[in-house]
Amino acid sequence: MLSIAVGKGVAMTTFIMLTRLNTEAVRSPRGLEKLERDVMKHVRDECPDVEWLGSYAVLGPCDYLDVFIANDIETAARVSALIRTFGHAQTEIWTATEWDRFKEIVRTLPGPIDPSNA
């Protein structure tokens, strides 16, 4: 994984999680807040090294977009499993690379191949 953030003195990967609630997950707007509190308690208890960077409600096929950093893909998978199980939701997890870091990576790539030398 190329996306690295430094959290608690350890190199950590940035993850983007898209979440789509199942239709039976909540029955009222207030139920959303309770569901969030309950699910995040499980995440904090089971994955204490995860650092939450932001949560956004989004318009589109998913309901939420969350950004967090974790030590490894296994920890991100645990977060996803907790959200799916206790949050009654479907999730997708993506790794993310900060734009400046991505540009550094691209600069190390070889240039175009000269067809006359091939």
Contact yes or no for 80/17 (Cβ under 8 A) = yes
Name the domain count of the chain: 1
Question: Would you say residue 111 lies in a domain?
Answer: no
Alpha carbons 15 and 49: distance in angstroms, whole number: 14
Question: Would you say residue 117 lies in a domain?
Answer: no
Question: Would you say residue 49 lies in a domain?
Answer: yes
Domain of residue 76, residue span: 5-101
Contact yes or no for 22/90 (Cβ under 8 A) = yes
Question: Would you say residue 9 lies in a domain?
Answer: yes
CATH number at residue 93: 3.30.70.260
Question: Would you say residue 116 lies in a domain?
Answer: no
Model confidence over 27-73: pLDDT tens digits?
A: 888 888 899 999 999 999 999 999 999 999 999 999 999 999 999 99
Model confidence over 71-87: pLDDT tens digits?
A: 999 999 999 999 999 88
Question: Would you say residue 83 lies in a domain?
Answer: yes
Alpha carbons 12 and 72: distance in angstroms, whole number: 7
- Statement: the pTM of the whole predicted model exceeds 0.85: no
Question: Would you say residue 113 lies in a domain?
Answer: no
Give the pLDDT band (50/70/90) at residue 116. Answer: confident
Q: Taking 80 as the threshold, does the pLDDT of residue 7 lie above it?
A: no
